[in-house]
Amino acid sequence: MIKKLKIELDVGLSDSELVSYQKEDSNLKVSIEAWNEQIINLLFSDVIYMQDMGAWRFSEFYELKDNMPIMQKVLSVQFEEIPHDHHYRHFQLLDIDGNSSFEVISESFSVEIK
């Protein structure tokens, strides 16, 4: 079983929709419209991986705590020898069926709600 930590936001992601995402340098901004029409901006910094698997509607946001194969692959591209104390974190947005639809590996993230 994959260890993951559910990230609770001040506004729930159920019935939310992807508005846009944009990458500038190593930063990524993912804008999501919540059920109540508020905009949730997920701001990731020092992004080394992003995958959009047909993201459209979201239900939940997680940080994966296990050392997933994709994390190992991405880190092996970044580093000649993967340090044990790297600060990269693996984030995952789930679609309304509970499947991964958007993933990011970055050093950190913050949330902005408008």
φ/ψ bin of 84: left (φ > 0), alpha (ψ from -120 to 50), beta (otherwise)? alpha
φ/ψ bin of 54: left (φ > 0), alpha (ψ from -120 to 50), beta (otherwise)? left
Q: Which of 51, 53, 50, 56 is nearest to 16 (CA)?
A: 56
For 21-69, how does the pLDDT look when each residue is reduced to its tens digit (9 = 90+)? 999 999 999 999 999 999 999 999 999 999 999 889 999 999 998 777 8
Q: Which of 92, 90, 94 is nearest to 108 (CA)?
A: 90
Q: Is the pTM of this model over 0.85?
A: yes
